[in-house]
Amino acid sequence: MSEPIAPAGLKPGLGPGPAAGPASASAWAVARHRFLRDPVALISLTVVSAMVLAAVCGGPLWIYSHTTITPDLSQPPSAVHPFGTDTLGHDMLALVLRGLRQSLSIAFMVALPATLLGVVGGIVAGFRGGLVDNLIMRLVDLILTIPSMALASFLGSRLRGVGISTFTLSMVLAALLWTSMARLVRGVSLSIRQELYVDAAILMGASQPRIMVRHVLPNVLDQVIVSVTLLVGTAVLSESGLSFLGFGIRPPDTSLGLLVSNAKDSAMTRPWTFYFPGLAIIVFVLAINFLGESLRRALNPHRVTNDYLDKRRRRSRRRSTGSARTSRAGGQSGRAVPAPPGEPVPTDDLVPADEPLLEIERLGVEFPAERVQAVDDLSLRLAPGEVVALVGESGSGKTMTVLAAVGLLPVGAQLSGQVRFRGRSLTDLDYDQWRAIRGSQISIILQDPMTSLNPVLTVFRHFEETLRALSGHRVADAEVRRRAVELMEAVGITRAPDRLYQYPHELSGGMRQRIVIALAIVPRPQLIIADEPTTALDVTVQARVLDSLEAARASVGAAMIFITHDLALVAGLVDRVLVMKDGRLVEAAPVDDLFARPRHPYTQTLLARVPRLRRGPDSGSPPVWAQAGSEAEAPSGGPGVAASPPPTASARLDQEAGHD
Amino acid sequence: MVRSIALRVVNSLLVLLASSILIFALVSLAGDPLAELRQQDPPVSPSVIAAEEHRLGLDLPLPERYLRWIAGVLRGDFGQSVSPSLDIAAELGGRVQVTLRLVVLAMFVAIVLAVGAGLVSGLRQNRWPDLSLTFGSFVLLSLPSFWMAVLLKQGGIWINQTTGYRVFYTVGFESVPPVTGFWSHSLDLAGHLILPTIVLVLVHLAAWTRYQRAATIRALQADHVKYAILRGLPRGQVMRSHVIRPSLIPLITIVGLEMPGLFSGAIITETVFQWNGMGALLLDALRRSDVNVVLGWLMVSASAVVGFNLLTDILYRVIDPRMRRADHV
């Protein structure tokens, strides 16, 4: 387990990973800019600096020293003694300043060696790996099995003979606190070690220490900086805890922990003796923790996270007014590629308008924050039972189009235009209204079967959930079993009864995607949206999964939108092809026409790529369904088949089940 | 599964063995337990010192001392205490119960609250429940545990004095003399647990809440959540099976790793509330330079920590099917 544990348990906030860290000078400048614009950062930095300054200069400057005994015993705060006095007549402000000085100097003396040890240990462990890594990490584990407070108290008490100094105390704490830093740095170094540029440096003969300093160190630096702040906070808390127990700083010197300890029975009677030293600790640690958090935010800004269950989603999406304006403004943002001159923007009007299943009208999806127009003025219609392909390269807006259609756009997206399904507008539905559509009339298949299924649920539970959601009541296990096995066999899964009780990670990618396909036809939907369903799969199983998909679709007679970037895949599968580029529809044509007479230059480019791909060195691999169009321009090199192949023979599936 | 658990058990025993060596080496090398005796004025006769050295086994070479000590520990004999009347094993046995009661209760309460707060925080990201919980966590993280303990104790005393009733127990883990009768005794113990548990819970709540929040946010981002919504599952079910359940898994590891922290916190809490638990035993032993008690103490706490880590490790395997797969390979 190499989970880095930051001091004070703040690790979960420490950013997504090493790759996000700034490694270049400009990235640091951006981080500094972000930091300086963050009010929390500025306030916490001011507080920390002020307290450090007070600790360093406050003692000598203040009229009383921490050893001065004044005649005022147990005085509450007054003009002469702003923090009051203790029972012996010491000025509390002088004591707190002295305590702050001692606590902070120990904290910094702890943080420095602990950081050095942690960073060196972590980099060496992560970079060298093997035995060295094992030794260092086992040592870390061992130290972590012992309660640090007990060990520190013990060492503190043993060092009493030699006269405990702030230095020895710091070393004891540093020896205990370096472990969290080491874990963190090791984790990051380990992943950097896998990077190509590190390999390159090794191949070029750079020495290991040099690589560690030149390549690894800069990449862990941001996380180290954040951790140091937390480490200082932890050190202050540990030192004051030890002094409180009597094993840290001892009288006549003082520290904040000792002051609280002295006042522990008078917290109610003489609160000033208790609260001022306590507040000094709290304010400092709070400020330094916030400083660390601001640094983390500046160095590794959070990306906006999606919460698809957010109840406010619907409200934020209400932007039907002014839709045309939005999309046009987006169109001028320089991103959209103009349609060929003299040609109108193709609207997809090949389906008779009387009874379309799905009708998208002037759809726009805009990300105002990023100034990106993901989908621009897109219209399409889909007849019942019709199969269309939405083709385009990554980032062309294909996925955004269908996500908009099913109401699941990411955070920050603004929708304009209209989506109608069987004549009903889908633009302003709440979660429960959507449920009557999603998963019952429209099924969606996502790109990556590795992540679509819940890793902690069995296949059976996925079917059970879907069947229960559909029927609205509990479905008997035997019934779930029967339906699930039937559907799984329909999509070509062998040994379905056994697979039913397996977890997703126990199945191959092809198998998982078939399960997703089987789940998709559970409700006998009228529309299936398949978002690059085979892209994440091994080439050798792509064709067979496509077979299963087409067979499944045909069995329920659903219409389908098949999203892909690969024209070769769609030839035998679909009736029509819609080509998208930069958020716009650039061409819409029946599949044969498109292959024969591509009108838009972009379509021609896409088509030109198809034969090249198919003549690749891998052309011996199972053929994808390239349908040779009737005309000469059609991809001729492919060993295509002329029409949608029927569901494949079970023999072939057995073969797949054997090895994928 | 069984094989992998067996492996984990063996591994834990090895860790325990290694930590016993580390503990023994540290404690033996850190100083001479008879230093005070040697420096006494007038000087103690060398024969007395030699006899004491022999009684404590200090005249043997270090490895042999270790072997004798560990062999004794395995038989439940922790060696001689500086104060001859003290039976270390019996003392540790009695006190570990007292401390574990506090630690385990605090841990469960902290987990429940942290999961609740972390889920609310993660699901209401950057809105007022999250912002206030986040600020609260940062404040809690900055509060020294001893300060909090003193404040609660004094607050308890003040409430008792003001109301004239004993609303809170503020001293010890049970009434002196002990209450008789099973139910009254249990009630008495529970009453004494309240304030120390609150302190220990507050110490760990903040970090665990932050962790659960991060885990919840990660879980919300998962593709299978999106897919569950697209399959038309009810919101509550998506939340339960696809967000909350996967998000609970990482916390188990963290809680296991934080066990030593709970013990550290217990030492301070027990000191403030004057419990006769493990904390007081350690501090007394340290003041008396009672090496064998310290050794025994560290061994018992290391065993508790290792045992607990083993438990969370096994639990992790039971809960997360992906971990189970590692066993087949």
- Report the half-sphere exposure of B67 (CA within 13 A, side-chain side): 4
Q: Is the pLDDT of residue A628 over 60?
A: no
Distance to chain A for B85, nearest Cα, Å:
23
Residues 1-40 of B with CB under 8 A from A: 15, 18-19, 22-23, 26-27, 30-31, 35
Mean pLDDT of A611-639: 39
The model's confidence at residue A637, banded by pLDDT at 50, 70 and 90, is very low
B200 with B266: CB under 8 angstroms?
A: yes
Of B125, B268, B305, the CB nearest to A305: B125
Residue given tokens 């087409």 in the structure block: A550
Q: Do A157 and B257 touch (CB under 8 A)?
A: no
Give per-residue burial for B32-48: e unless 16+ CB within 10 Å, then b: ebbeebeeeeeeeeeee
Closest B-chain CA to A279: B143
Q: What is the mean pLDDT of residues A158-162?
A: 58
Contact flag B144-A281 (C-beta cutoff 8 Å): yes
Task: Please name which of B119, B280, B286, B295 lies closest in space to residue B210, comparing C-alpha atoms.
Answer: B119
Instruction: Give the closest residue to B256 by CA, choosing from B212, B314, B209, B297.
Output: B314
Q: On the CB side of A182, how many CA atoms lie within 13 Å of its CA?
A: 25
pLDDT at residue A321, as a whole number: 39
Instruction: Please check the confidence at residue B292 and state whether its pLDDT lies above 90.
Output: no
DSSP letter (8 states) at residue A14: S
For testing contact with chain A, the best of B11, B159, B224, B242 (most A CBs within 10 A): B224
Query: Which residue type does A51 have?
Result: M
Strands A372-382 and A387-391: unpaired
- Whether residue A525 is contained in a domain is answered as no
The count of C-alpha atoms lying within 13 angstroms of the C-alpha of B140, restricted to the half-sphere facing its C-beta, is 23
Whether residue A22 is preceded by a cis peptide bond, meaning omega within 30 degrees of 0, is no
Q: What does the buried/exposed string (b/e) look like for A243-275 if buried means 16 or more CB atoms within 10 Å of the residue's CB?
A: bbbbbbbeeebbbbbbbbbbbbebbeebbbbbb
**Tokens in use for A251?**
């009288």
The predicted structure's pLDDT at residue A22: 52
More confident residue, B55 or A592: A592
In a domain, residue A112? The reply is yes
Look-up of token digits 């009434």: B175
Average pLDDT over residues B173-189: 78
Average pLDDT, chain B: 83
The answer to whether residues A534 and A545 touch, using CB atoms and an 8 Å cutoff, is: yes
pTM, two decimal places? 0.78
Is residue A454 assigned to a domain?
no
State whether B31 and A151 contact (CB < 8 Å).
Answer: no
**B32 or A501, which is more confident:** A501
Identify which of B233, B245, B283 has the shortest CB distance to residue A245: B283
Within 8 A of A159 by CB-CB distance, chain B residues are: 30-31
Token duo for residue A269: 């009677």
Q: Which residues of B touch A150 (CB under 8 A)?
A: 263-264, 267, 282, 297-298, 301
Q: How confident is the model at residue A2, as a pLDDT?
A: 37
Cβ contact A455–B321 (<8 Å): yes
pLDDT band at A469; cut points 50, 70, 90: confident
More confident residue, A110 or A343: A110
- A414-421 vs A372-382, strand pairing mode: unpaired
Cβ contacts (< 8 Å) between A439 and chain B: which residues? 230-233
- A278/B320 CB distance under 8 A: no
CB atoms within 10 A of CB A319: 16
Residue B275 contacts A, CB cutoff 8 Å: no
CB atoms B146 and A456 under 8 Å = no
When comparing pLDDT for A620 and A94, which is higher? A94
Q: What percent of chain A has pLDDT over 90?
A: 3
pLDDT above 50 (res A236): yes
- For residue A442, the cross-strand partners are A438, A527
Strand ranges (DSSP E) for A67-134?
none
Helix (H) / strand (E) element for A581: namely: strand A576-581
pLDDT of residue A312: 55
Q: Is it the case that residue B260 has pLDDT exceeding 70?
A: yes
Residue among A604, A599, A602 nearest A635 (CA)? A604
Rounded Cα gap, residues A271 and A336, in angstroms: 68
pLDDT at A206: 75
SS (H, E, C) chain B: CHHHHHHHHHHHHHHHHHHHHHHHHHHHHCCCCCHHHHCCCCCCCHHHHHHHHHHHCCCCCHHHHHHHHHHHHHCCCCCCCCCCCCCHHHHHHHHHHHHHHHHHHHHHHHHHHHHHHHHHHHHCCCCHHHHHHHHHHHHHHHCCHHHHHHHHHHHHHHHHHHHCCCCCCCCCCCCCCCCCCHHHHHHHHHHHHHHHHHHHHHHHHHHHHHHHHHHHHHHHHCHHHHHHHHCCCCHHHHHHHHHHHHHHHHHHHHHHHCHHHHHHHHHHHHHHCCCCCHHHHHHHHHHCCCHHHHHHHHHHHHHHHHHHHHHHHHHHHHHCHHHHHHHHC
Count Cβ atoms below 10 Å from residue B166 Cβ, excluding itself. 13
Q: Are B55 and B81 spatial neighbours (Cβ–Cβ below 8 Å)?
A: no
Window 41-100 of B, Cβ < 8 Å to A: none
Closest CA to A519 of A562, A469, A574: A469
Within 13 Å, how many C-alpha atoms sit on residue A43's CB side?
Answer: 9
A–B CB contacts, 8 A cutoff, strictly below? 266
Please report whether residue A390 resides in a domain.
no
Q: Does B292 touch chain A (CB under 8 A)?
A: no
Inspect the interface and report whether the beta carbons of B138 and A257 lie closer than 8 Å: no
Contact predicate B307/B32, CB 8 Å: no
What are the structural domain ranges in chain B?
2-11+87-328
Taking residues B73-81, report their average pLDDT. 80
- Residue A183 backbone dihedrals phi, psi, to 5 degrees: -60, -45
Alpha-carbon separation of residue A543 from A73, A618, A640 (angstroms): 89, 14, 12
* For residue B306, pLDDT beyond 50: yes
CATH of the domain at A112: 1.10.3720.10
Are A503 and A453 in contact, with CB atoms under 8 Å apart?
no
The predicted-structure confidence for B43-61, as pLDDT tens digits, reads as follows 777 787 788 777 777 777 8
CA distance A344 to A333: 20
* Alpha carbons A532 and A539: distance in angstroms, whole number: 13
Contacts 24+ apart (CB under 8 A), B315-318: B315/B252, B316/B249, B316/B252, B316/B253, B317/B1, B317/B4, B317/B5
Whether A244 and A261 have beta carbons less than 8 Å apart is answered as yes
> A227 lies in which domain range?
37-299
Task: Give the whole-angstrom CA distance, residue B30 versus residue B24.
Answer: 10
Please indicate, yes or no, if residue A383 is contained in any of the structural domains: no
Q: Judge contact between B321 and A505, C-beta under 8 A.
A: yes
Distance, in Å, from the CA atom of A392 to the CA atom of A578, rounded to the nearest integer, reads 9
pLDDT at A619: 40
Query: Given an 8 Å threshold on Cβ–Cβ distance, is A451 in contact with B222?
Result: yes
Nearest-neighbour CA in chain A from B211: distance (Å): 5
Q: How far is CA A75 from the centre of its chain?
A: 56
Dist CA A332 CA B102 (whole Å): 66
Sheet holding A527-531, edge to edge: A442-445, A527-531, A559-564, A387-391, A576-581, A584-590
Residue A7: pLDDT over 70: no
* Ranges A79-93, A159-173, A180-194, B294-308, most confident: B294-308
Contact indicator for B141, B150 with CB cutoff of 8 Å: no
Task: Specify if A188 maps to a domain.
Answer: yes
Sign of CA dihedral A261, A266, A268, A274: negative
Closest approach of chain B CAs to the CA of A161, in angstroms? 8
Considering the domain boundaries, does residue A315 fall inside one?
A: no
| Residue whose tokens read 């609280």 | A260
In angstroms, the CA A180 to CA A188 distance is: 13
- Picking from A370, A380, A445, A377, the residue whose alpha carbon sits closest to that of residue A413 is A370
The confidence score (pLDDT) of residue B71 equals 87
Ranges A91-100, B79-88, B205-214: which has the least confidence: B79-88
Structural domains of chain A, count: 1
Residues in B closer than 8 angstroms to A455, CB to CB, are: 224, 246, 320-322
Residue A258, min C-alpha distance to chain B (Å): 11
Whether B246 sits inside 8 A of A282 (CB atoms) is no
**Cross-chain residue pair B301–A147, CB shorter than 8 Å:** yes
Query: Which residue in B has a C-alpha nearest to residue A531's C-alpha?
Result: B227
Section A139-156 average pLDDT: 80
Residue B10 CB contacts under 8 Å (≥ 6 apart), including other chains: none
- B260 CB neighbours in chain A (<8 A) are 144-148
Instruction: Return the CATH architecture of domain B2-11+87-328.
Output: Orthogonal Bundle (1.10)
What pLDDT is recorded for position A342?
A: 41
State the Cα–Cα distance between residues B8 and A639, nearest whole angstrom.
54
Tell me the C-alpha distance between A95 and A320, whole Å: 66
Query: Is residue B109 scored above 90 in pLDDT?
Result: yes
Interchain pair B267, A470: CB under 8 A: no
Q: How many CB atoms lie within 10 A of CB B112?
A: 11
B204-255: pLDDT as tens digits: 888 889 889 888 888 888 888 888 888 888 888 888 888 888 888 888 878 8
Chain B residues touching residue A138 (CB < 8 angstroms): 18
Contact with chain A for residue B319, Cβ under 8 A: yes
- Angle ∠(A111,B266,A163) on CA atoms, nearest 5: 50
The reply to whether residue A289 touches residue B272, judged by beta carbons under 8 angstroms, is no
* pLDDT of residue A477 exceeding 60: yes
> Which of B221, B282, B306 is facing A145, going by the closest CB pair?
B306
Residues of B in contact with A430 (CB under 8 A): none
Does residue A555 sit within a domain? no
Mean of per-residue pLDDT scores for chain A: 75
Task: Indicate the residue of A293, A454, A516 with minimum beta-carbon distance to B241.
Answer: A454
What is the rounded CA–CA span in Å between residue A104 and residue A113? 15
pLDDT for A128 equals: 79
Of A146, A434, A458, the CB nearest to B19: A146
Give the number of other CB atoms < 10 A from CB of residue B263: 25
Q: Is the pLDDT of residue A626 over 70?
A: no
Question: Mind telling me how many Å the CA of A205 is from chain B's nearest CA?
Answer: 37
For A308-355, how does the pLDDT look when each residue is reduced to its tens digit (9 = 90+)? 776 555 434 444 433 333 333 333 333 434 444 444 445 555 555 567
Is the bond into A338 cis (omega within 30 degrees of 0)?
A: no
Q: How many percent of chain A have pLDDT more than 70?
A: 79
Q: Which one, of A630, A658, A45, lies nearest residue A298 by Cα?
A: A45
